């Protein structure tokens, strides 16, 4: 298993500096990660640093609460794509999902998918820690219907991150229709491998370097 290609090397801390962002870009090129995932303010820097590599630029939208209007999320996505993003990780309207306003959730996702318009892959962050299993299943179905390419477990800033049982449930629900990104709390090779074996196609983690180093020792 080449675990490096599963990893979205992530830096989403509010105090992240340009120097730290530059460093994770350097690491991503060195270790062959799939993408670097950052906040929108760093999109231009990341896309510039990765321009001569195969590593992709991933930017979060509506992060971390998902509570912005759909028009704001669409604007964020448009600007991120203009700045070089080719992957968008958007947080869904979690409150609307819990209220059963599924049309609002679908419209929210669709606004970003429409803005991406094939120029960027859209992953929907459903923040599993706040949802019942039935709500997770519904979130998956809505994401597929709205045209998303991935369902992502977590922002990494909720009450818990990725859990194996959630990845298994998402894969059972989604089948092979869209990808799954597990994110939050993935800090070692054994956890990363378990997530992949449970059905994750991508891993969001700030511990990518450590995970790859540990994989070489197995």
Q: Regarding beta strands 7-11 and 56-61, do their DSSP bridges make them parallel or antiparallel, or are they unpaired? A: unpaired
- pLDDT > 90? residue 209: yes
Look up the pTM and report it. 0.97
The count of other CB atoms within 10 Å of the CB of residue 79 is 16
pLDDT for the residue 48: 98
Catalytic option among 108, 123, 152, 166: 152
pLDDT for 1 beyond 80: no
Quick check: 133 pLDDT over 80? yes
Catalytic member of 70, 73, 123, 181 = 181
CATH number at residue 27: 3.20.20.70
Range of the domain at 115: 3-216
Of 4, 83, 89, 166, the active-site residue reads: 89
Confidence of residue 125 (pLDDT cuts 50, 70, 90): very high
Question: Mean pLDDT score of the chain, rounded to an integer?
Answer: 97
- Of 150, 157, 66, 78, nearest to 108 (Cα)? 66
Domain count, the chain: 1
pLDDT in the model for residue 65: 97
**Read out DSSP for the chain?**
--GGGGEEEEE--TT--HHHHHHHHHHHHHHT-SEEEE-GGGHHHHHHHTTTSSPEEEEEESTTT--S-HHHHHHHHHHHHHTT-SEEEEE--HHHHHHT-HHHHHHHHHHHHHHHTTSSEEEEE--GGGS-HHHHHHHHHHHHHHT-SEEE---SSSSS---HHHHHHHHHHHTTSSEEEEESS--SHHHHHHHHHHT-SEEEES-HHHHHHHHHT-
The question of whether 114 is a catalytic residue gets the answer no
Query: Could you read off the pLDDT of 48-73 as tens digits, one per residue?
Result: 999 999 999 999 999 999 999 999 99
pLDDT score of 218: 84
Q: What does the pLDDT look like over 152-194, one tens digit per residue?
A: 999 999 999 999 999 999 999 999 999 999 999 999 999 999 9
């Amino acid at each position: 298993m080449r675990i490096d290609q599963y990893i979205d090397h992530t830096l989403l801390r509010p105090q992240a500096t340009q120097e730290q962002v530059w460093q994770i870009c350097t690491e991503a090129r060195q270790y062959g990660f799939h993408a670097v995932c950052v906040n929108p303010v760093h999109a231009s820097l990341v896309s510039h640093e990765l321009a001569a590599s195969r590593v992709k630029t991933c930017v979060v939208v509506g992060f971390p609460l998902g509570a912005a209007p759909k028009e704001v999320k669409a604007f964020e996505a448009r600007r991120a794509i203009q700045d070089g993003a080719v992957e968008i990780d958007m947080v869904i309207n979690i409150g609307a999902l819990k209220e059963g306003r599924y049309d609002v959730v679908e419209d929210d996702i669709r606004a970003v998918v429409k803005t991406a318009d094939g120029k960027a892959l859209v992953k929907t962050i459903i923040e599993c820690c706040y949802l019942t299993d039935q709500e997770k299943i519904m979130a998956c179905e809505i994401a597929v219907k709205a045209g998303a390419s991935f369902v992502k477990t977590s922002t990494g800033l909720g009450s818990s991150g990725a859990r194996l049982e959630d990845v298994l449930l998402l894969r059972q629900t989604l089948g092979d229709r869209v990808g799954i990104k597990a994110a939050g709390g993935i800090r070692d090779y054994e956890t990363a491998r378990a997530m992949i074996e449970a059905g994750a196609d991508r891993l969001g983690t700030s511990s990518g370097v450590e995970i790859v180093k540990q994989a070489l020792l197995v």
